[in-house]
Structure 1
């Protein structure tokens, strides 16, 4: 059985997005601890994202990169508190479709 689209999101897309966001925020001068607090994760998770131990299996196109940079800047500047909707939008960009086939069938 092929993996369901949501399973791919959980295991591939979401970790890659979170890694890219964490990397952008640290590159902008924030400490790993501050980034972890903003993203609601352990500092060790940020460290693993930055070292490439997790979250780096996807090569993003330019449009997705720009969305990640924009989200990272907005989080760093405190313009948004809940990144969930923007992360969902980025995930949709990665998939390149508005909804998955499994969702269409139900």
Structure 2
């Protein structure tokens, strides 16, 4: 079994980036501008929007709304590239651990107590 921190890197962060890229494009940004803003390559943006990357889990509606709000703030200038890491971390901390593990077919009983908090939601 993968440790929760690896699950965050392989599934949660890419899912957040995918949602963010899609929202920014929906708000009228070009892929090149999205890639520069998110500090990723344009091909990575393309993979996020075509679900070739970041589609391993489905984010809950409240988390998707946080991403949508952040995209709107980036688009209208209320947020900047400097906000990307702290806001991504804030969004990540709102991802429900049990939901992600369930989607991946991992039993939460297999995790030790210390691993529970690694996913950010601190075993809600």
What is the TM-score when the length of structure 1 is the normalising length? 0.85
In structure 2, C-alpha distance between the alignment counterparts of 1:95 and 1:4, rounded to whole Å? 16
TM-score under structure 2 normalisation?
0.73
CA deviation digits over 1:42-86, x for unaligned, max 9? Answer: 111101111111111221222111101011111222222321111
TM-fit CA distance, 1:102:
3.0
**Residue deviations 1:24-56 (CA, integer Å, cap 9, x gap):** 000111100011111011111101111111111
Q: Mind listing any 5+ residue stretches in structure 2 that lack a counterpart?
A: 99-112, 118-124
The answer on 1:101 being equivalent to 2:117 is no
The alignment status of 1:28 with 2:41, answered yes or no, reads no
Relative distance call for 1:86 and 1:3 in structure 2 (3 A) is same
Tell me the matched-pair count.
101
Change (3 A) 1:57 1:103: closer
Q: 11-20 or 68-77: which moved more? A: 68-77
* Deviating 4+ runs (over 3 angstroms): none
Residues 4-23 of structure 1 mapped to structure 2, 5 A cutoff: 4-23=3-22
Alpha-carbon RMSD: 1.9
Aligned pairs for 1:54-93 within 5 A:
54-81=53-80, 82=82, 83-93=84-94
Higher deviation after alignment, 86-95 or 13-22? 86-95
